[in-house]
């Protein structure tokens, strides 16, 4: 049992697992293309894995398996570190790594939650029409704007759409590519618009239930790294003074 535990808490094993994750994702980035690649960005992860055959998705299954092993390695390392260092009352020594580990675990949990419970959909809609959100909320696309550069190039400069629903009130909310509308946990994004009679907009509706966990994980991960750098710099200063 001791040998197994030493294997589970091994830093070298953690580094090997990280390298395997990078290799698996690199293999996927070089082999994935076409409709399958486009679909990966248009649906939740596990829905995509169920949709396409294993020959195209093997690298992502491998990534998930290795990430699960990396999570196990992180949990075991944190447990061992807490019990070993807490007995020495060295809170400053063991706290930063635990914050980093906790941040990593929250980020993985957030992606897992969004992969299982998330939702992505798209709709092409004309100005004046209505569409229904997955929760039943009716949204009226009151106005669509598309700004293009002058001349023959017609490069897009910006898009916007005025959306009106029961939640926004009669005045509605204007969305742009960087300013979506959130209704009952769903985000409505404008991806493209075309002028015409009437104008047409391409909208995407997303639900990312793991967004809050991901933010919390990112904050813990950042704080842990900052505290770790601070404590190590202080230790080096003290070592320099002692010498």
Domain locations along the chain: 2-89, 119-207
Tell me the pLDDT band of 154, cut-offs 50, 70 and 90. low
Q: 12-26, 74-88, 176-190: which has the minimum mean pLDDT? A: 74-88
Q: Is 124 helix (H, G, I), strand (E, B) or coil?
A: strand
Check if the beta carbon of residue 163 is closer than 8 Å to that of residue 153.
no
pLDDT at 1: 76
* Structure confidence by residue, pLDDT tens digits, 116-141: 888 888 889 999 999 998 888 899 99
Looking at the predicted structure, is the pLDDT value of residue 235 above 70?
no
What CA–CA distances, in Å, run from 55 to 32, 40, 51, 59, 62? Answer: 11, 15, 12, 9, 12
Check if the beta carbon of residue 161 is closer than 8 Å to that of residue 201.
yes
pLDDT at 213: 92
* Structure confidence by residue, pLDDT tens digits, 166-217: 888 888 999 998 899 998 889 999 988 888 888 899 999 988 888 889 999 9
**Helix, strand and coil percent figures for the chain, each rounded to 5:** 55, 25, 20
pLDDT at 148: 72
Report the mean per-residue pLDDT for the chain: 84
Looking at the predicted structure, is the pLDDT value of residue 239 above 80?
no
CA separation for the pair 21, 165 (Å, rounded):
43
Looking at the predicted structure, is the pLDDT value of residue 49 above 60?
yes
């Amino acid at each position: 049992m001791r040998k197994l535990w030493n294997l589970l808490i091994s830093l070298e094993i953690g580094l090997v697992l990280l390298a395997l994750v990078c290799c698996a994702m690199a293999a996927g980035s070089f082999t994935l293309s076409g409709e399958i690649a486009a679909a990966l960005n248009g649906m939740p992860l596990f829905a995509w894995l169920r949709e396409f055959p294993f020959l195209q998705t093997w690298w992502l299954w491998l990534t998930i398996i290795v990430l699960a092993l990396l999570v196990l390695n992180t949990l075991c390392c944190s447990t061992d570190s807490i019990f070993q260092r807490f007995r020495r009352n060295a809170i400053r020594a063991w706290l930063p790594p635990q914050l980093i580990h906790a941040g990593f675990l929250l980020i993985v949990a957030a992606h897992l939650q969004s992969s299982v419970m998330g939702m992505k959909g798209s709709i092409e809609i004309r100005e004046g029409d209505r569409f229904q959100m997955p929760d039943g909320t009716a949204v009226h696309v009151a106005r669509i704007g598309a700004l293009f550069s002058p001349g023959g190039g017609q490069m897009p400069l910006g898009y916007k759409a005025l959306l009106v629903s029961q939640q926004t009130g009669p005045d509605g909310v204007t969305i742009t590519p960087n300013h979506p509308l959130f209704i009952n946990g769903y985000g409505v994004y404008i991806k493209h618009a075309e002028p015409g009679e009437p104008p047409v907009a391409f909208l995407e509706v997303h639900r990312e239930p793991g967004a809050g966990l991901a933010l919390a994980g990112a904050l813990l991960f950042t704080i842990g790294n900052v505290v770790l750098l601070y404590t190590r710099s202080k230790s080096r200063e003290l070592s320099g003074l002692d010498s």
